Structure 1
Amino acid sequence: MHENLGSSADWVVTGPSNGLAFLVADSGYDIWLGNNRGNTYSKKHTMFLETSYGFRDFRLFYIGYSQGGTQFFVMNSMKPEYNDKIRLGVTFAPAVFLGNTKGAINILSKLSNPIE
């Protein structure tokens, strides 16, 4: 999963020789590139219909950067029934504490409770 204000393209934009998604796919893994805002490709599968058991019968290696890492921790704490689906979670710079941030993100983060 990508960082705040990013997209799944961040994992492939550097091309086949450098993009993490390409490198992992070349090692034989299926790659799912998530988007926080969703996309039109998220329900297509080459073998299973969305209603079949095989569509969701999988175990994951999760990689998240910044906001994507934070989402991993929140999911595991709020939805513990998903924990047995995750074989390994890797987080790069998870955004878990915003106390020392500066600029617009600091101002916006203070509005999260009133907005909620």
Structure 2
Amino acid sequence: ADAGFDVFLLNQRGTTYGKKHVNLKTSDNKFWQFTLDEYAKYDAPDMIDKALQLSGESGLYWVGSSQGTIVGFMTLAETPAYNRKVKAIFQLSPVGTGGYAKGIFRFAIAAFQIFKPVLDVIPFF
């Protein structure tokens, strides 16, 4: 923002800003009955459109953290028209961890950790 860019900080329901919901109050059980699928299908596209409308831009950069990473991927996968509206997506932290993986997945995670230093020095692109 200090460099003259429009910056929009978005969050999902469950914050104090959710109290301005058009139809529901936070005391209504229905307010809390939503899924990430619904958020990616309805809420995220609406927020993207609003940010573009307010900024006058044709595209934006998405910076996701934790749950924002999965919602970003879901939105772009489920609503392909938004691939033109999001210029680039930067995912800062994962939504989960492999620490509780079982079976073959635990082995794959351990093997990846062993080979990661080698992969870091091999140019893929």
Please give the range of the TM-score, normalised by the shorter of the 2 chains.
0.3 to 0.5
| Structure with more helix by fraction | 2
Structure 1 length as normaliser, TM-score?
0.46
Structure 2 length as normaliser, TM-score?
0.43
Work out which structure has the larger RCO, using CA pairs closer than 8 Å and 6 or more positions apart in sequence. 1
User: Which structure's CA Rg is the greater one?
Assistant: 2
